[in-house]
Structure 1
């Protein structure tokens, strides 16, 4: 499956369960150094209650909440993931989207 197709499938899966998505990453080789700042942003969004957690390619458990920074990093080492919003808030500008 192509990266954009994988991310689209994850977003569709999230939407089917009532989640809004914001931010999608694809990194076939694992966690890229330039994504670490983005991951810290994701962790802060979860901690502040502005995002629910992460939905990954290999773990489609929508209850997967990132309770600490390292769990965010661990989830991010999978090939694709999206940030799940807890509510239909406007996508924060601090979260970047890459493909």
Structure 2
């Protein structure tokens, strides 16, 4: 099943220059669902399932809003976000090619 947020993460990372969402997209393309792992972790801690679904979204939104503080230069954020997306797509294609 395809993550319905993947295109949103791609758009926010590539066009919106968000390193957080570019990293989420890169992890998804490479086969690691960060949000799924966080959900699993929260469920093992005993957090109710509805909160385990909501908390990752709130956390990543909060993290994306704080990007300007820990990476203030917009050109650097743009370069990092686009680089993460392009490298992850190239790496995913390389992995698929090697597996053939």
> Fold match, TM over 0.5?
no
Structure with more strand by fraction: 1
Structure with more helix by fraction: 2
TM-score, length basis structure 2: 0.30
Q: Which has the larger radius of gyration?
A: 2
